[in-house]
Amino acid sequence: MERQPTMSQEGFREAFPVSRETLGRLCRYGALLEKWQKKINLVGTGTICDLWRRHMLDSAQLMAPILALKKGNPVILDLGSGAGFPGMVLAILDAGEVHLVESNRRKCAFLREVARETETALTIHESRIEDLAPSMIPEPADIITARALAHLDRILDHAEPFLKDETVCLFLKGRRARGELTKAEKKWTMRAENINSLSSPSATILRLDHLARRPSGNKQ
């Protein structure tokens, strides 16, 4: 497969128009990521050189399906946030009331510094997903996001306590998305849509709603 050219911040802005102020906040985020990456492993080392495509655009592209919901100020729950993709980017883009869930103490320290330096309002839960009480989220999530967290069936196990009838899940997935979806459908009923990724021809956004566990689909 032909390798895509590295994307600059100007290229990002052409692909995803944002204000100069918002671009500045994303630039500050990127600078902090590069600084902290020298101390802790936040993202794959080989992806830093293409930060604007592999991480910023990959996250920002979720704005289209979020805005399509016309929810106003949706509650967005980002599971296994790591370095903040996609949750921190969505918060900077003012996508809604964003909650990040991350168990690693040092990564949470990084996320707090990014939020402070970019003046971004969001909530960071330093917790394992399975230990986070649903009561910690103001109401069941309107949107649940995840990237590079686990196989789809496992992500849905994590998401289950936070689901409501209208919850939409937006998961950034790679070339194995179809196989993961087939496996998850053995335990879950759902309506699924594959949305082409803007960041990579081999990636996809899995949009899931109407989720319900099958009677025989108990957790293992």
Strand intervals (E) in 41-165? 75-79, 97-102, 123-126, 143-147
pLDDT of residue 45: 87
Is residue 37 assigned to a domain?
A: no
Domain extent at residue 209: 58-213
Q: Are 116 and 139 in contact (CB under 8 A)?
A: no
Is residue 12 assigned to a domain?
A: no
Which of 81-85, 110-114, 115-119, 198-202 shows the lowest mean pLDDT across its residues?
198-202
Is residue 23 assigned to a domain?
A: no
Structure confidence by residue, pLDDT tens digits, 18-47: 999 999 999 999 999 999 999 999 999 889
Structure confidence by residue, pLDDT tens digits, 156-207: 999 999 999 999 999 999 999 999 999 999 999 999 999 999 999 999 999 9
pLDDT of residue 8: 94
pTM, full prediction: 0.94
Is residue 131 assigned to a domain?
A: yes
Is residue 31 assigned to a domain?
A: no
Is residue 2 assigned to a domain?
A: no
pLDDT of residue 1: 42
Is residue 106 assigned to a domain?
A: yes
Report which of 161, 100, 146, 157 is spatially closest to residue 127, judged by C-alpha positions.
100
CATH of the domain at 71: 3.40.50.150
pLDDT of residue 188: 96
How many structural domains are present in the chain? Answer: 1
Cα→Cα distances 208→9, 195, 218, Å: 30, 11, 19
CA 55-163-178 angle, to 5 degrees, is 55
* Mean pLDDT (the chain, rounded): 94
217 band by pLDDT with thresholds 50, 70 and 90: low
Is residue 48 assigned to a domain?
A: no
